[in-house]
A and B are shown apart, each in its own frame.
Chain A
Amino acid sequence: MAIRVNPSFIDDLDRFGAEDVQLCYQCGDCSTVCSHADDIFKFPRKSMRQLQMGLEQKIETTLEPWLCYYCGQCSEQCPREADPGETMMSLRRWLISRYDFTGIARQFFKSRIREILSITVVALLTGAFLMFHVLSGGSIHIYDGEGAFLPSPFIHTFDLTIGSVLAVFLLINAVRMWYFTMIRGMSIPVPWWLYLKEFFELPLHFFTQKMYAECENKNEHQVHMPWLIHLGLMLGYVTMLVLVMVFIEPLQAGPEIHWSIHIFGYLATIGLSIGTIYFIRHRIKKENYIQYKKSHSTDWIFVVMLFFIVITGILQHIFHRTGLYEWANITYVIHLMAVTPWLLRMPFSKWAHMIYRPLAMYFAAIQKTAYARQDDLDDSLSVTIK
């Protein structure tokens, strides 16, 4: 069966940031330089081609965009300045929108206005809800304990509710991702036990991002910097998420926060602050690293919002510790107004890659083993450039 080419797809992907993909003439330099491309995953050259040709069904079922950590070496090498690195990034945005069954992600990626508008609406609703709740009991002068403005059990319930909504969305999308890539995307059967055999890959990639570190082995400029910062930011984020979701009561409690929780809180804050500042700085300067030269609107919203959340969180903590309870309560409301849309947005935004990427690494490992098992790996139809 012939697959239909869709020449208009390229215009669609333009909105996701793949502005230069049309320039690619398939020389394959990019795949040669990429540390992660191999015989099975022939990106970015192949992805460039599929995108140009609008082979949506193919792209939807491939893991390749997730195997790219955007070190930018391919874009530096490309003789046609087709920016394969940014194209892989755009494909990840597009995949996030494809995995998302609600269609919201697509709207966000395609329109900055829509995204900002919905964030504002959710923030305002959150603010209104909090004020409404508070007015029925708490006092702005009290931060904690009896008559508190935002008592910690209430916040806990609030967090868990949002967390569950988030988890439901993410889980459904992750299942869709699995279905696309592991069922529709595989021409050969995958035995179930391979899922068990390769399971260690999931936490391994999640916590080390070791492929990102490998990326940089070839990079002459600065060793390991983006990887370290990215890892710090991610670990900080996860720590903070766990603290907020599980340990909010001891975290918010009066003057005597337990040291163990305190330490984690500070570490996470350091990771988050350094990370967000580093990324904002590079995106503004557009220097050194090609991956920061082009910023999609969603990239900006991502770092700026996170930075705002970190700042309001820190301020709230300072006010609380210095006894300025009114101020602490006000910043807390503002903080939560940012956190709620942030968390609810997660399955529809760049942040989802935190889940999809390690999943993809895990799936990719399974696929590779499956293919290796298949003796008659039939590659005769394609032109192997790399």
Chain B
Amino acid sequence: MKNLRIGVYVCNCGTNIAKIIDAEAVAKYASNLPNVAIAKTYKYMCSNPGQEMIAQDIKDNELDRVVVAACSPNMHERTFRHALRMAGLNQYLLEMANIREQCSWVHKDRKAATKKAMALVHGAVLRVEKHEALESIDVDMSPNSLVIGGGIAGMTTALELADAGNSVHLVEKSDQLGGNVGRVDLTAPYYYSATDLLTDRITRTKSHKKIQVYLQSKVTDLSGFVGNFTANIIHLNGVPESEKTPVEVQIGNVAICTGYKEFDASRVTHYGYGKLPNVITSFELERMLRAGKVETKEGKTPKYVAIIHCVGSRNKEFHTYCSRVCCMTALKYAHEIKSANPECYVSDVYIDMNAFGKGHEDFYLQSSQAKTLFLMYDKENRPVIHKAEPSDDCEMLIEVHEKLSGEHIEIPADLIVLMVGMEAREDAHEIAHLAGISQDKDGWFIESHPKLEPVATTTDGVFIAGTCVAPKDIPDTVAQARAAAARILARIAKGKIEVDAIYSEVNKELCSGCRFCNDLCPYNAIEFIEEEGQSHVISALCKACGVCVAACPSSAIKGRHFTDDQVLAQIDGLFSKVEYELEEQPVK
């Protein structure tokens, strides 16, 4: 092998790195390693001047490998790959040493941290020597899309895509479109009728030339990769599932909008839901409001109505998260009940008033103006519902420790509304498995970055929107649906998609066709080619996790950019002997 010329760039990250690590000493250490032609430090390597410096060095010094010792590659690998491309160097000839998240941020001892950084850089240098120039691949993008779930999120995504002239297959499990919004009466905080919001959308979705709606259907299989998926859709009624012939559709992208289901209130025993007739859930109240009559099971107009927040939410026993919409929905009930019957007294029993959104704080004020009695309880000390004595002027009593007054109180009630939270649907894991995406501990689908990529997933071409990601209200759901549509439209407009060159490959010489790897791949990226009797990795789907590489008994699978010799060289570097003594005045 010809002599390599490696450039090593140690970033200070302002003080993030330099505070703990002696960056200059690290650069100096690197400069003494074999093949290292140049080693530098810089305040912010990811800044434009930083990138330009690297690009310029590559040209001026004929560098053919680059190591950047900085933050996590998750953060800036793309940035530095770009710098390499600018200088005409293959972008895979870069290696990053993470000396921030994995070093300066987690250590306090300057000497030890600096030595660790040196070892990390050493590993990176040895590894980058083994890097190969790789080419990313372009694949065609099918302009058709699949939308799973026909709630407000699904319909919005579908309409947005179809209005731009693309075909959409919309698959809905139930026998009608609309999802949970269809069960709501008026919406908080502006009292738009949910029916009005939906009707227009449903009619347009159904009649849209570009949208094919599949009611009472589900997706049973999703194969292929971004731009070229194949989905199987079956109708749920009639013949047993196994005997059905699925409809097969070709699509480029998938939007998952499967929504949520309400928490089952009977799981909270101290509320007596299911036993006490006049303890109802929010959805039952919605039904009453739609019918225009709020009354007890006995047909009487209640004098005292109590609303209990956070049922199943913000609760260690059930779900620790906040369901986000129920606070405002509760206020909406307080309003509607009071305006329908001014003689009625509404108590709102809450933990915290979650009025974060636009118009919400004003809505809260309006409920106060309408004389709603707000009573605050503690998360650890939930209310308990009892039947009242015959001598009382109410049917039930809610016993609770009221936080703001410090009193142990009982609240009279004839009708009690439980604000049930949202939870992930039972079958969400099926969808997750189908599409190769992950769920968090509560069952919600995980976005690829919670801040910067809220609708993308780790599977390219699969997007998530609405309440299947986490609880949210209609405006947020619609915003996500449109965001997902925009992401898909941008890809369709491009026509092609670049797939990272890092993936695994099966060596046909070695593969024995044992099919071990087929089921292990968490991304369904391995197909078995019957004619050849061998496994094949679909490069566009592979995430380069390495599971198959490790599992293959014939060592037939190679992870590109993560080859054995690359990884072993890196390990060698990590275990190299590092000398470093603290200087007199460490902080510059």
Contact = CB atoms under 8 A, between A and B. Distances in A.
25 contacts: A2-B397, A2-B408, A3-B409, A4-B397, A5-B347, A5-B373, A5-B375, A5-B411, A6-B412, A7-B345, A7-B347, A7-B373, A7-B412, A8-B345, A22-B372, A25-B374, A26-B376, A49-B404, A50-B405, A52-B374, A53-B409, A55-B405, A58-B407, A80-B368, A382-B406
B402 interface: yes
B35 to A, nearest CB: 66
Determine the main DSSP class of B at the interface with A.
Answer: strand
Nearest to B400: A2
Contacts of B449: none
Contact of A25 (B368, B373, B375, B399): B368
Contacts of B376: 26
A12 to B, nearest CB: 12
B369 A23 contact: yes
A147 to B, nearest CB: 64
Given A3-B409, A3-B410, A5-B373, A23 B345 contact: no
Interface in A1-34: 1-8, 10-11, 22-26
A60 B57 CA distance: 84
A377 interface: no
Nearest to B404: A26
A196 interface: no
A52 B373 contact: yes
A22 B371 contact: yes
A24 B412 CA distance: 21
A80 B365 CA distance: 8
Given A3-B407, A8-B345, 19 more contacts: A1-B408, A2-B410, A3-B408, A4-B397, A4-B410, A5-B347, A5-B409, A5-B410, A7-B345, A7-B346, A7-B412, A22-B368, A22-B369, A26-B404, A53-B373, A53-B405, A55-B405, A80-B368, A381-B406
Interface in B363-396: 365, 368-376
Give the contact-size bracket for chain B: 20 to 34
Contacts of A382: 405-406
B379 to A, nearest CB: 14
A24 B371 CA distance: 10
A23 B406 contact: no
Given A2-B410, A4-B410, A53 B375 contact: yes
Contacts of B370: 22
Contacts of A11: 371
A46 interface: yes
A52 B405 CA distance: 10
Contacts of A2: 397, 399, 408-410
Nearest to B376: A26
Contacts of B397: 2, 4
Contacts of A383: 403-404, 406
A23 B365 contact: yes
B9 interface: no
A49 B405 contact: yes
Contacts of B409: 2-5, 53
Interface in A54-80: 55, 58, 80
A30 B544 CA distance: 61
Given A4-B412, A5-B409, A53-B409, A10 B402 contact: no
Contact of B304 (A7, A49, A58): A7
Interface in A289-306: none
Contacts of A3: 407-410
A53 B347 CA distance: 9
A4 B393 CA distance: 12
Contacts of B365: 23, 80
B368 to A, nearest CB: 5
Contacts of B404: 26, 49, 383
A152 to B, nearest CB: 56
Contacts of B410: 2-5
Contacts of B353: 25
Nearest to B394: A4
A283 B402 CA distance: 38
A305 to B, nearest CB: 33
B368 A23 contact: yes
Contacts of A25: 353, 368, 374
A53 B304 CA distance: 13
Nearest to A2: B410
Contacts of B368: 22-25, 80
Top 8 nearest A-B pairs (CB, nearest first) are A382-B406, A7-B345, A2-B410, A22-B371, A49-B405, A26-B404, A23-B368, A7-B373
Contacts of B371: 10-11, 22
Contacts of A58: 407
A13 to B, nearest CB: 11
**Listed residue (B369, B371, B376) with the most chain A CB atoms within 10 angstroms of its CB:** B371
B237 to A, nearest CB: 50
Contacts of B408: 1-3
Contacts of A381: 406
Contact of B405 (A1, A6, A10, A46): A46
Contacts of A6: 412
B373 A10 contact: yes
A129 to B, nearest CB: 46
A381 B408 CA distance: 9
**Listed residue (A2, A3, A23, A25) with the most chain B CB atoms within 10 angstroms of its CB:** A2
B80 to A, nearest CB: 50
A49 B406 CA distance: 10
Contact of B412 (A5, A23, A80): A5
A186 B405 CA distance: 17
A125 B399 CA distance: 54
Contacts of A4: 397, 409-410, 412
Contacts of B345: 7-8
A38 B374 CA distance: 25
A57 B403 CA distance: 19
Contacts of B369: 22-23
Contacts of A80: 365, 368
Interface string B122-155: 0000000000000000000000000000000000
**Listed residue (B404, B406, B410, B411) with the most chain A CB atoms within 10 angstroms of its CB:** B404
Nearest to B344: A7
Contacts of A22: 368-372
Nearest to A11: B371
A105 B35 CA distance: 99
**Listed residue (A5, A24, A53) with the most chain B CB atoms within 10 angstroms of its CB:** A5
Interface in B18-69: none
Nearest to B406: A382
A2 B376 CA distance: 15
A175 B402 CA distance: 33
Contacts of A52: 373-374
Contacts of A50: 405
Given A4-B412, A5-B412, A25-B368, A55 B407 contact: yes
A58 B406 CA distance: 12
**Listed residue (A8, A10, A23) with the most chain B CB atoms within 10 angstroms of its CB:** A8
B351 to A, nearest CB: 13
Nearest to A379: B406
B167 to A, nearest CB: 52
A8 B397 CA distance: 16
Contacts of B304: 7
Interface string B339-350: 000000111000
Contacts of A5: 347, 373, 375, 409-412
Interface in B406-422: 406-412
**Listed residue (B347, B376, B397, B402) with the most chain A CB atoms within 10 angstroms of its CB:** B402
Contacts of B407: 3, 53, 55, 58
